[in-house]
Amino acid sequence: MSNVFYRSRKSYPVAVRAEGVFIEDAQGQRYLDGSSGALVANIGHGRTEVAQAMAAQVSQLAFVHGSQFSSEVLETYAARLADFLTLPGFRFWGVSGGSEANESAIKLARQYHVERGEPGRFKVVTRVPSYHGASLGALAASGMGARREVYAPLIREDAWPKMPKPDPSLSGLQDAERLRAVLEAAGPETVAAFICEPVVGASDAALAPNAGYHAHIAKICREYGVLFIADEVMSGMGRCGAPLAVRLGWEVTPDLVVLGKGLAAGYAPLAGLMAAPAVYDTVMNGSGAFKHGFTYAGHPVSVAAGLSVLDIVEREALVTAARERGAQLLSGLQALQARHPQVLAARGHGLLLGLVLGDPETGEAFPQPGLAERVAAAAREEGLLTYPGSGAVDGTRGDHLLLGPPLSISVAEVAVMLAALDRALATTGVSAA
Ligand code: PLP
């Protein structure tokens, strides 16, 4: 018997080592990591350079508490990150995971308005579907019924007015304009922030709005005094072929940018928040302190991992690689769509790509989710890991697969992924059950 608390009663192979895009289990089976775990392992596995940077940091300074010290590595990293993301003057708040980072963003937005003398602003407009994290605040913000329903009594619904998901049949401007009606209905004087994933991840298979959407969202937010939070936990750090997905094809600077996953690419738990100078200054010139904190905030070893990962991303031009390999993978996925009628759409940006699965007769999701899980299981049999999900229709239904290998994947490895996926789609067939 194992003493491990597994996530579910399915059986889990025991991973023993990983290198490049491959993970190997205790039976010697090798898997191509076609989803970078959950879109995390951006630089691939087994980079000794990162291990060395972390070991050096452990020896020099493993931990200080954020209420007492900053650290050299944190100071250097915050500056490097602001440069990489072209967010001049933004302040980095480091935490351990994306849920903590979104909690921090929501609390900072709330405190910002309290400091400005508008304590009535407590609501955060979010979209359906969306996923912002598993902790209760971040989950409350998420428009993902399947992950929320068990916890419903703990979630105050009226604090999270909902905006519909991006509609690719609308121009980016018309699409974003729908935020105005949501704000008016909620009472704009009660709204602290709007949060969205610039390219949607776990809830809707790499769905992205048309060009101009985010710039117009930012404009409406400014008009109503609402902060714009871009949740780039999955889409950021080069994954979508640009340092920030919110800027794909348009110029926009959100008030708060939330990062995670690719930040330390799985080498250490690291996520964080970049806060615009105006937000930071309002708090510091007001009460003088962000009333929030985690023990491991800005952990020196995690930050050292992040710094080393950033070195590799820049040196190996992995943002460009994400664009190039992404184009190759997307055109292969479109070819699969033409061959397998249960693939209703193939889409995404860079190496955040998705397949929408459903009923070819109706062009809609099957009534019960499950096909994505079955395709993922078949792909795994073929030695390919993918990230299945559901929720695209209304936060509960709709099958999809996310594909997002390390940005360092080679041309030949992308071809291996596509061949395995082709076989998996052929074996699972078209039906829901
Ligand atoms: N935000 C987005 C967009 C995510 O995709 C995720 C995780 O999938 C999170 C937040 C939560 O991050 P974590 O699981 O690191 O807490």
Residue nearest to atom 7 of ligand 1 (CA): 133
Any atom of ligand 1 within 6 Å of the Cβ of 201:
yes
What amino acid occupies position 83? D
Any atom of ligand 1 within 6 Å of the Cβ of 231:
yes
Could you identify the residue written with the tokens 């491990």? 4
Cα torsion for 370, 392, 199, 374, to the nearest 10°?
Answer: 10
**pLDDT over 70 percentage in the chain:** 99
Residue to probe by mutation, ligand 1, list 196, 261, 302, most atoms within 8 Å of CB: 261
Query: What is the reported pLDDT for 15?
Result: 98
**pLDDT, tens digit only, all 433 positions of the chain:** 899 999 999 889 999 999 999 999 999 999 999 999 999 999 999 999 999 999 999 999 999 999 999 999 999 999 999 999 999 999 999 999 999 999 999 999 999 999 999 999 999 999 999 999 999 999 999 998 888 889 988 888 889 999 999 999 999 999 999 999 999 999 999 999 999 999 999 999 999 999 999 999 999 999 999 999 999 999 999 999 999 999 997 889 999 999 999 999 999 999 999 999 999 999 999 999 999 999 999 999 999 999 999 999 999 999 999 999 999 999 999 999 999 999 999 999 999 999 999 999 999 998 888 899 999 999 999 999 999 998 777 767 789 999 999 999 999 999 999 999 999 999 998 876 6
Query: What is the reported pLDDT for 107?
Result: 98
Residue to probe by mutation, ligand 1, list 233, 240, 302, 390, most atoms within 8 Å of CB: 233
Atom nearest to 38 CA in ligand 1: 8
Any atom of ligand 1 within 6 Å of the Cβ of 202:
yes
Query: What is the reported pLDDT for 309?
Result: 99
CA 40 to centroid of ligand 1, rounded, Å? 10
Atom nearest to 271 CA in ligand 1: 15
Q: Extract the tokens encoding 23.
A: 């993970």
Any atom of ligand 1 within 6 Å of the Cβ of 105:
no
What amino acid occupies position 292? H
Residue to probe by mutation, ligand 1, list 131, 232, 263, 387, most atoms within 8 Å of CB: 131
CB 404 within 8 A of CB 387: yes
Any atom of ligand 1 within 6 Å of the Cβ of 99:
yes
Any atom of ligand 1 within 6 Å of the Cβ of 115:
no
Provide the phi-psi class of 421: left if phi over 0, else alpha when psi is between -120 and 50, else beta.
alpha
The Cα–Cα gap between 425 and 405 comes to: 18
Any atom of ligand 1 within 6 Å of the Cβ of 404:
no
Any atom of ligand 1 within 6 Å of the Cβ of 198:
no
Any atom of ligand 1 within 6 Å of the Cβ of 38:
yes
Query: What is the reported pLDDT for 85?
Result: 98
Any atom of ligand 1 within 6 Å of the Cβ of 233:
yes
Query: What is the reported pLDDT for 146?
Result: 81
Q: What is the 3-state secondary structure (H, E, C) of the chain?
A: CCCCCCCCCCCCCCEEEEEECEEEECCCCEEEECCHHHHCCCCCECCHHHHHHHHHHHHHCCCCCCCCCCCHHHHHHHHHHHHHCCCCCCEEEEECCHHHHHHHHHHHHHHHHHHCCCCCCCEEEEEECCCCCCCHHHHHHCCCHHHHHHHHHHCCHHHCCEEECCCCCCCHHHHHHHHHHHHHHHCHHHEEEEEECCCCCCCCCCCCCCCCHHHHHHHHHHHHCCEEEEECCCCCCCCCCCCCHHHCCCCCCCCEEEECHHHCCCCCCCEEEEECHHHHHHHHHCCCCCCCCCCCCCCHHHHHHHHHHHHHHHHCCHHHHHHHHHHHHHHHHHHHHHHCCCEEEEEEECCEEEEEECECCCCECCCCCCHHHHHHHHHHHCCEECEEEECCCCCCCCEEEEECCCCCCCHHHHHHHHHHHHHHHHHHCCCCC
ipTM confidence: 0.99
Whether the upstream peptide bond of residue 406 has omega within 30° of 0, thus cis, is: no
Residue nearest to atom 10 of ligand 1 (CA): 132
Domains of the chain: 15-46+317-428 (3.90.1150.10), 48-316 (3.40.640.10)
Task: Report CA 320 to chain centroid distance, whole Å.
Answer: 19
Q: How many CA atoms are closer than 13 Å to the CA of 243, on its beta-carbon side?
A: 15
Residue nearest to atom 5 of ligand 1 (CA): 234
Please, what sign has the CA dihedral across residues 306, 94, 131, 183? Answer: negative
CA 429 to centroid of ligand 1, rounded, Å? 31
